[in-house]
Amino acid sequence: MKIILAPMDGLTDVYARELLTSIGGYDYCVTEFLRVTDTLLPSRVFLRRFPELKSNYTPISHTKDGTSIFLQLLGSDKNALAENAAKAVQLGANGIDLNFGCPAKTVNRRNGGASLLQYPDTINQLVEAVRKAVPTDIPVTAKMRLGYDNQDLAHDNALAIQEGGATWVTIHARTKKEGYRPPAHWEALSPIADLLTIPVIANGEIWSVEDYFSCRQQSGCENVMLGRGAMVTPDLARQIKATLANEPIQVLKWSSICQLLEKLYHLMLANTALKERYIAPRLKVWVKWLMPSYSEAELLFPSLKKINDPHHAIQMIKEFPSISS
């Protein structure tokens, strides 16, 4: 059973990948998407999006705790995707993931992401081109949604991805039109999983251990990708793995969350290329995500959101008392 940390633009960056995988439970990560148009991108662009390709990571293309990372590419030019995938592998990427699921208007306006779900033949050609461009031992995977406006082409798109040579396909169980509005249609994944011979990874609305088991029962998929649920409950992957192993769940306490945020602060501070003014906003974003799981975060956020100095912000977080203590 595998759990993958989802690519979420602006959220699951190098810092989130390091922090979340350090807690445990994840088998793979996928980077935020790297947009490809019609050119071969310079190495610095790959390294900016995927810093774990740098030589100070040992082995490269892994988080500090050893979790393998795939690079996600987004685009609709098969030759450019193939060239950039090949370059990413030369730089050390462990795998290539293709984005056919992003619902953002700016992406879909330019024939990227979920807009491609209207054209199964194009999806097949894109996957096939990338598969041919990289060594056979490098996984090529894809993420899709159930469709663009509706689910009519869900099976066609999944088959197109499989026949293009993908190692597995992750399916966000909603259409592009539905965005992130509940519910996720887990039941729609079951016939697709029965149709394909490659693994189907379920994604969407998995916020708890209970949701994982509901998703598995309805979708028939034991492997999952965690997105927003990973931000709300940072140890969700570990909780799921512990439950499957019949081990006691050790939920992260508020004190551990504060240590996690302090580590985030120090990681960002150590990055000399990152301006300090970006640190406090990132801390505030994560505290806001934690609010559904931690009443401390809910009580802290109204005061924290007014703070722009990163040193003041982390001090406020560290000193905020645990309600359970």
Closest to 163 in 3D by CA, of 134, 207, 198: 198
If we measure between CA atoms, which residue out of 252, 241, 243, 245 comes closest to residue 26? 241
Backbone φ and ψ for 42, nearest 5 degrees, come out as: -70, 160
102 is known as an active-site residue:
yes
- Residue 11 token pair: 């959220």
CA Rg value for the chain:
20
Q: How many C-alpha atoms does 170 have within 13 Å on its Cβ side?
A: 29
Q: 309 CB contacts (<8 Å, ≥6 apart)?
A: 280
Token duo for residue 129: 């081109």
Q: Work out the burial of residue 109: count CB atoms within 10 Å of its CB; fewer than 13 is exposed, 13-18 middle, 19 or more buried.
A: exposed
Cα–Cα separations (whole angstroms), residue 306 to 276, 281, 302, 303, 312:
16, 10, 7, 6, 11
Catalytic residue among 102, 215, 221, 258: 102
10 DSSP assignment: T
Measured between its terminal Cα atoms, the distance across the chain in Å is 36
Q: Give DSSP secondary structure letters for 232-295.
A: HSTTHHHHHHHHHTT----PPPHHHHHHHHHHHHHHHHH-TTS-GGGHHHHHHHHHHHHTTT-H
Q: Tell me which residues are annotated as active site.
A: 102
